[in-house]
Amino acid sequence: MDNIAVISQMRQLINLLAQHNHAYYVMDQPSITDSEYDQLFHQLKALEEQYPDCIQADTPTNKVGGQALSKFENMTHTVPMLSLGNVFNEEELFAFARRAEERLPNQQIQYDVELKFDGLAISLWYENGVLVRGVTRGDGETGEVITENIKTIRNLPKILSSDTSAIPELLEVRGEVLMPKAGFEKLNAENEAKGEKTFANPRNAAAGSLRQLDPNIAAARPLAFYAYGIAQCEPMHHLNTMSESLTWLNQLGFAVGERHFVCDSIQDVQAAYEKINQERPSLSVEIDGMVIKVNDLKQQKQLGFLSREPRWATAYKFPAVAALTTVDHIDWQVGRTGALTPVARLNPVAVGGVTISNVTLHNIGEIHRLDVRIGDTVSVYRSGDVIPKVEKVWLDFRPDTAIPVVLPECCPVCASPVVMPEGEALARCSGGLYCAAQRIEAIRHFVSRKAMDIEGLGDRWAESLLHLDLLKDVSDIYHLHEHREKLLTIEKMGEKSVQNLIDSIENSKKTTFANFIFALGIRGVGENTSRMLSNTFQTLEALRAADVEALKKTPDVGDITAEWIADFFQAEHNLEVVNRLIEAGIHWDAPIAPSRQPLNGESWVITGTLSQMGREEATQILQALGARVSGSISSKTKCLVAGEKAGSKLEKAEKAGVKVMTEAEFLEFIQQYQ
Ligand code: IVH
């Protein structure tokens, strides 16, 4: 493809993505599914990777200038970002309205009622419709410039467009960045599955994401922006009211709150507030109240400010959903990846109409931060429908008998040692294959295609087999044929499925040493490392006997992985499982001898289209010669095999001085070993 064709394809994708974003965020009417959106997004990303010179400034993938920063620049706001006064009940709300009425005698006042987003306030600068800067609120006078992170927010327009009005030369928009509830829950679930740190609430998640110096991390977080005001506009756009401002912002491409009202009286404001408080759990975003603004912009001007707060607006907060209770006990739950999560068992307490008796404390770091002890009195807090959390410990109420929390030394499920590598937030059970809590993941991994390759078991039957107590550990898979009758009791499992399952289990017994190592699911040991271990040690006996020093000499095995491998083979229960697997008949041909692995430990990369053989075949040949085939160029890359239409990898290799072979040269090169 020539550059013009590439750019036109990119433009088409960018426009399509922008349309769908608009439909999703602004119109609230998704026009395609998330997965379809992702497909378009990935197609654009792939094009950009292949043709980095053609990347468009307004791309939603935002690789442009997406350099990690060492720190954020500070910037003084031309128009300060002020705060709002608060009211907490009807009486205070009416007093707010009375004060406004007194200053606007004989005038009718309408109120604009908006959601009070619980996120982070930011200011956005658009010059001739192009987003040039995003700055945090900071202390209201000076904030941090976080433009690159801001640009990664999907629903935030990078270029303004409108069918109905001219685009101003300068527009400064104020609004809130937050993480919608669904995205927050998904992010936490993913992090939990990966054994990474979870966030206590959407606000923390949004704040943490915006403060990332590497915009690629921010890009991976599901953030959204909601506009609620205009700080500057040149030339002035004719607007009479706050609600007209919101409508105009929306027309320019900004999302605004999914609910907002104009009320003719303060009684109506109270009713709107009560309605939204009811509807709060069904809103897509977290809110902590409503913002009540005098709707007429002229009246706003007349009212002005009292010190740092407008007289024309106030925040009407929802009643705090917090209550005091005591911590009876702390349990440690073991997740599917072995991560240990502390859960406080509370004296049951009603918080915002829901009884709370358990609350997660996330990790040992959070326990230390809160300094929570068993017996302590704590405030438990619920915001919207999001998971409750401990807000603070009341040290005044701490009894002498309060017991500090310590990380257990042994897994509460399987009693294996608990490990917490330095610099990591999470403690883990080292029980691996043996730990019941980790069994389902261990089984899914064990049977996966690149491990023992037992078709159907992982996706279809694993859960039922666990329920029937047929799989205590992975070695029981090879005894399933002894339980045909029980297998037939599983829903949808007929004679034929049983036979298929048993056949594929039987077929899996003949494997390779590398696949077997990979199947064991040792931490840090992926496919490539498994192959290197197989090449280096040749036999299970040798691998089992290897000490950390010997393991470290294996290409691809660093200090930490070496420790993990050694730990794995030191654990008695892992050895038992491995022995049972071998006894069940798992076997493999001896790996290719090291003397016949001329490329042992070398890292190769293949890119572009190979015409004589598929990339898969080329990969297998290289692996058989002892090389590891990697997806990206690094300083360790020995050689790049570049087929037709090689893109950015070829450029990168050339820049880095990595040796490059054409397909013809590669074929000739491997000839000598065949
Ligand atoms: S208007 C002069 N509207 O509340 C200040 N603020 O306490 C005008 N906030 O930091 C602010 N939702 O980030 C406004 N719909 C909304 C809002 C909102 C949330 C935040 C804002 C500010 C804080 C003020």
Query: Can you tell me which residue has the tokens 């550990």?
Result: 473
What pLDDT does 63 receive?
Answer: 38
Of 82, 86, 88, 116, the one to substitute when testing ligand 1's pocket (max ligand atoms within 8 A of C-beta) is 116
Q: What is the 3-state secondary structure (H, E, C) of 130-150?
A: EEEEEEECCCCCEEEECHHHH
Q: 222: cis peptide before it, omega within 30°?
A: no
Give the distance, in angstroms, between the CA of residue 495 and the centroid of all CA atoms in the same chain: 42
Q: For residue 552, is pLDDT > 90?
A: yes
What pLDDT does 343 receive?
Answer: 95
Question: Does 160 count as an annotated binding residue?
Answer: no
Atom of ligand 1 nearest to the CA of 115: 15
Whole-angstrom Cα Rg for the chain:
30
Mean pLDDT of the region 13-32 = 74
CA distance 540 to 174: 63
Q: Which of 317, 332, 356 is the last residue of a domain?
A: 317
Contact 73/145 with Cβ under 8 angstroms?
Answer: yes
Q: Is 116 in the pocket of ligand 1 (CB under 6 A)?
A: yes
Query: Can you tell me which residue has the tokens 């608009």?
Result: 22
Collapsed DSSP state (helix, strand, coil) of residue 314 = strand
CA distance 448 to 458: 7
Q: Is 286 in the pocket of ligand 1 (CB under 6 A)?
A: no
Atom of ligand 1 nearest to the CA of 118: 19
What pLDDT does 66 receive?
Answer: 42
What pLDDT does 65 receive?
Answer: 35
Contact 140/309 with Cβ under 8 angstroms?
Answer: no
Who wins on pLDDT, 229 or 557? 229
Residues 302, 353, single domain; the answer is no
CA distance 269 to 347: 38
Residue 228 lies in a domain: yes
Q: Is 79 in the pocket of ligand 1 (CB under 6 A)?
A: no
Q: For residue 353, is pLDDT > 80?
A: no
Residues 504, 653, single domain; the answer is no
Q: Please report, for residues 164, 197, 200, 356, 409, the alpha-carbon distance to residue 363 in angstroms, rounded to integers and kept in the order given.
A: 52, 8, 11, 19, 15
> What proportions of the chain, in percent to the nearest 5, are helix, strand and coil?
40, 25, 35
Beta strands 389-393 and 377-381, pairing class: antiparallel
Q: Is 140 in the pocket of ligand 1 (CB under 6 A)?
A: no
CA distance 617 to 321: 61
Atom of ligand 1 nearest to the CA of 84: 7
Of 77, 82, 84, 112, the one to substitute when testing ligand 1's pocket (max ligand atoms within 8 A of C-beta) is 84
Residues 115, 264, single domain; the answer is yes
What pLDDT does 34 receive?
Answer: 65
CA distance 565 to 84: 57
pLDDT, tens digit (0-9, with 9 covering 90-100), for 587-632: 999 888 777 788 888 889 999 888 888 888 888 889 888 888 888 8
CA distance 416 to 284: 42
Contact 514/590 with Cβ under 8 angstroms?
Answer: no
CA distance 431 to 438: 8
Contact 516/522 with Cβ under 8 angstroms?
Answer: no
The reported pTM is 0.53
Question: Does 141 count as an annotated binding residue?
Answer: no
Q: Is 315 in the pocket of ligand 1 (CB under 6 A)?
A: yes
Question: Does 176 count as an annotated binding residue?
Answer: yes
Q: Which of 24, 47, 62 is the last residue of a domain?
A: 62
CB-side neighbour CA atoms (13 Å) of 6: 16
Q: Is 206 in the pocket of ligand 1 (CB under 6 A)?
A: no
Q: Please report, for residues 274, 295, 482, the alpha-carbon distance to residue 89 in angstroms, rounded to integers and kept in the order given.
A: 11, 21, 69
Count how many domains the chain has: 5
For residue 213, the domain's CATH number is 3.30.470.30
Question: Does 444 count as an annotated binding residue?
Answer: no
Contact 347/325 with Cβ under 8 angstroms?
Answer: yes
Residue 95 lies in a domain: yes
Residues 472, 524, single domain; the answer is yes
pLDDT, tens digit (0-9, with 9 covering 90-100), for 242-254: 999 999 999 999 9
For residue 370, the domain's CATH number is 2.40.50.140
Tokens of 399: 């009894």
Residues 113, 221, single domain; the answer is yes
Q: Is 137 in the pocket of ligand 1 (CB under 6 A)?
A: yes
Residues 294, 389, single domain; the answer is no
Percentage of residues of the chain with pLDDT beyond 90: 49
Who wins on pLDDT, 445 or 673? 445
What pLDDT does 26 receive?
Answer: 60
Report the separation in Å between the CA atom of 146 and the middle of ligand 1, taken as the mean of its atom positions: 19
Q: Which domain covers residue 38, as residue numbers?
A: 3-62
Question: Does 414 count as an annotated binding residue?
Answer: yes
Residue 468 lies in a domain: yes
Atom of ligand 1 nearest to the CA of 86: 7
Q: Which of 287, 317, 347 is the last residue of a domain?
A: 317
Q: Is 291 in the pocket of ligand 1 (CB under 6 A)?
A: yes
Q: For residue 439, is pLDDT > 80?
A: yes
pLDDT, tens digit (0-9, with 9 covering 90-100), for 33-72: 766 777 788 788 888 888 888 888 778 776 333 445 557 8
Contact 577/473 with Cβ under 8 angstroms?
Answer: yes
Q: For residue 584, is pLDDT > 90?
A: yes
Q: What is the DSSP letter of 159?
A: B
Report the separation in Å between the CA atom of 162 and the middle of ligand 1, taken as the mean of its atom positions: 25
Tokens of 395: 């040290």
For residue 37, the domain's CATH number is 1.10.287.610
Mean pLDDT of the region 280-307 = 93
Residues designated catalytic:
116
What pLDDT does 383 receive?
Answer: 60
Phi first, then psi, for residue 103 (nearest 5°) are -85, -10
**Per DSSP, what are the bridge partners of residue 467?**
none
CA distance 341 to 14: 42
Report the separation in Å between the CA atom of 312 and the middle of ligand 1, taken as the mean of its atom positions: 12
Alpha carbon distance, N-terminus to C-terminus of the chain: 36
| DSSP-assigned letters across all residues of 543-575 | HHH--HHHHHTSTT--HHHHHHHHHHHH-HHHH
Question: Does 434 count as an annotated binding residue?
Answer: no
Residue 402 lies in a domain: no
What pLDDT does 384 receive?
Answer: 53
**Selection from 617, 591, 622, 590 nearest residue 604 by Cα:** 622
Mean pLDDT of the region 429-440 = 82
Confidence class of residue 8 from pLDDT cuts 50, 70 and 90?
confident
- Atom 23 of ligand 1, nearest CA residue: 83
Residues 549, 667, single domain; the answer is no
Mean pLDDT of the region 394-398 = 88
Average pLDDT value over all residues in the chain: 88
The H-or-E segment that residue 342 falls in is strand 339-351
Listed in sequence order, the residues at least 6 apart from 249 whose beta carbon sits closer than 8 Å to its beta carbon are 173, 227, 230, 256
Residues 498, 576, single domain; the answer is yes
Residues 103, 195, single domain; the answer is yes
Question: Does 137 count as an annotated binding residue?
Answer: yes
Residues 283, 344, single domain; the answer is no
Residue 154 lies in a domain: yes
Report the separation in Å between the CA atom of 106 and the middle of ligand 1, taken as the mean of its atom positions: 28
Q: For residue 318, is pLDDT > 90?
A: no
Percentage of residues of the chain with pLDDT beyond 70: 96
Residue 356 lies in a domain: yes
Collapsed DSSP state (helix, strand, coil) of residue 124 = strand
Report the separation in Å between the CA atom of 249 and the middle of ligand 1, taken as the mean of its atom positions: 16
Of 86, 291, 301, the one to substitute when testing ligand 1's pocket (max ligand atoms within 8 A of C-beta) is 291
Question: Does 38 count as an annotated binding residue?
Answer: yes
Query: Can you tell me which residue has the tokens 């160029």?
Result: 633
Q: Is 260 in the pocket of ligand 1 (CB under 6 A)?
A: no
Of 136, 228, 312, the one to substitute when testing ligand 1's pocket (max ligand atoms within 8 A of C-beta) is 228
Question: Does 459 count as an annotated binding residue?
Answer: no
Residues 313, 327, single domain; the answer is no
Report the separation in Å between the CA atom of 290 and the middle of ligand 1, taken as the mean of its atom positions: 9
Q: Is 84 in the pocket of ligand 1 (CB under 6 A)?
A: yes
For residue 634, the domain's CATH number is 3.40.50.10190
Beta strands 659-662 and 637-642, pairing class: parallel
Q: Is 121 in the pocket of ligand 1 (CB under 6 A)?
A: yes
Confidence class of residue 320 from pLDDT cuts 50, 70 and 90?
low
Number of Cβ atoms within 10 Å of the Cβ of 381: 21
Q: Is 290 in the pocket of ligand 1 (CB under 6 A)?
A: no
Q: Is 117 in the pocket of ligand 1 (CB under 6 A)?
A: yes
What pLDDT does 32 receive?
Answer: 75
Collapsed DSSP state (helix, strand, coil) of residue 347 = strand
Listed in sequence order, the residues at least 6 apart from 28 whose beta carbon sits closer than 8 Å to its beta carbon are 258
Tokens of 300: 């706003």
What pLDDT does 164 receive?
Answer: 85
Tokens of 475: 């070695």
Report the separation in Å between the CA atom of 400 and the middle of ligand 1, taken as the mean of its atom positions: 43
Query: Can you tell me which residue has the tokens 């709370």?
Result: 356
Who wins on pLDDT, 65 or 647? 647
Q: Is 176 in the pocket of ligand 1 (CB under 6 A)?
A: yes
Question: Does 331 count as an annotated binding residue?
Answer: no
Phi first, then psi, for residue 217 (nearest 5°) are -70, -45
What pLDDT does 70 receive?
Answer: 58
Residues 556, 416, single domain; the answer is yes
Residue 77 lies in a domain: no
> Position 456: which residue type?
G
Residue 357 lies in a domain: yes
- Atom 9 of ligand 1, nearest CA residue: 116
pLDDT, tens digit (0-9, with 9 covering 90-100), for 130-161: 999 999 998 889 999 999 899 989 899 999 98
What pLDDT does 386 receive?
Answer: 59
Report the separation in Å between the CA atom of 116 and the middle of ligand 1, taken as the mean of its atom positions: 7
Mean pLDDT of the region 453-473 = 85
Contact 444/405 with Cβ under 8 angstroms?
Answer: no
